[in-house]
Chains A and B, each alone.
Chain A
Amino acid sequence: MHELSLIASVFEVLETEARKHRAARVLSVVLRVGVFSGAVPDLLESAFDAYKKGTIADGARLEIVVVPVKVRCPDCGGEAVREDADFSCAACGSRRVEIVEGRELVVEKIELET
């Protein structure tokens, strides 16, 4: 349940960008949230709704793009999306895979009213 502190970071980004672009309001925000980021999309939405009241993003829409876990195998070069906690390479079975996607927590896009 650390989603509220993550949303506080989202609002730091929103306020900085709104000031930079002299925006009156933030209309929408797109977040990319990895399945393995440790954050829960539903809780991010609740935290965003609670946090936005009275801010520059009051009434803003939050869109969350869930990013699946993608692994790359250094042994055979294969890349695959994995859906459970089995991180072995789908092609050659190697366990030395690296996670290349699925851990991100990123503010991707912001729609502003200027």
Chain B
Amino acid sequence: MTTKTITVVRDLLATNKQAAAAIREELHGRGILCVNLLSSPGSGKTTLLEALADRFRGHLRMAVIEGDIETERDAERIRAKGVPAWQITTGGACHLEARMIGKVLGDVPAAIDLLFIENVGNLVCPASYDLGESLRFVLLSSPEGDDKPAKYPQAFLSADGLILTKADLLPHLPFDPARAAAEALAIKPGLKVFTVSALRGEGVDGLAGFLVESLERLRSGRA
């Protein structure tokens, strides 16, 4: 009986990264812009998607993959807006992984422009998992407080954009959007920052415009 030590150097997220790369390639090939939304529970991801569904109706075709621990509630809200939606219930897992998206991808119709993934509400774990998205946005709602970026730096570090939501509540709260943005930008320079009230439709046009530009960029970059 002998013992031997072997050096392996295997990335634990390698399987997820490979699955994500395959999804990204497929979606780029189909000319679909995929957006992964990360935030704490209750920061307004579904409400923002409802507002975007209203904004894009008749212009762009969107579809949504919903991630939650339990229930079809979010997918039902999106379908009520006339947008196709698939619900992934993780049954307890705190994040979505690329292979979960891969399983749904075959059902997503070819003729869409924007595919949103609403991750499980959690500002920690989803940050570590690439889902093959083109853009990642973190949402931070005004009731959560403007001190969150430095407390959960990983989510902000991994993002392309920050959406400050529930702007309609700002008059009633000590939340300072400039402070939240500055803190997030200190972690991730170049982060695109949007302030919206999805309930009132304020700021949604700016975000929609950015998504349209990103979609055009993705399509013009294709061979």
Assembly CA distance A113 to B59 (angstroms):
63
Taking a contact as CB atoms under 8 Å apart, the answer to whether A108 and B9 are in contact is: yes
Report if A5 contacts B (CB, 8 A).
yes
A10, B12: Cβ atoms under 8 Å?
A: yes
- Choice from A27, A85, A99, A108 contacting B8 with Cβ under 8 Å: A108
Q: With CB as the reference atom, state the residue of chain B lying closest to A99.
A: B157
Bound CA span A45–B152, Å: 22
Give, as a whole number of angstroms, the nearest-CB distance from B160 to chain A. Answer: 16
A9 within 8 A of partner (CB): yes
Q: Is there a chain A Cβ closer than 8 Å to B103's Cβ?
A: no
Most A CB contacts (10 A, CB to CB) among B2, B9, B10, B127 go to B10
Q: Assess whether B10 is in contact with A36, with CB atoms less than 8 Å apart.
A: no
Q: How many residues of B contact A (CB 8 A)?
A: 30
A109 to B7, CA, bound (A): 4
A106: B residues at CB distance < 8 A: 9-12
Does the CB pair A2–B9 fall under 8 Å? no
28 of the cross-chain contacts (CB-CB < 8 Å) are A1-B94, A2-B125, A9-B15, A12-B15, A13-B12, A21-B6, A24-B1, A27-B3, A31-B12, A36-B153, A36-B157, A37-B128, A38-B124, A38-B127, A39-B128, A86-B186, A87-B186, A104-B11, A105-B11, A105-B128, A106-B11, A107-B9, A108-B8, A109-B6, A109-B8, A113-B3, A114-B1, A114-B2
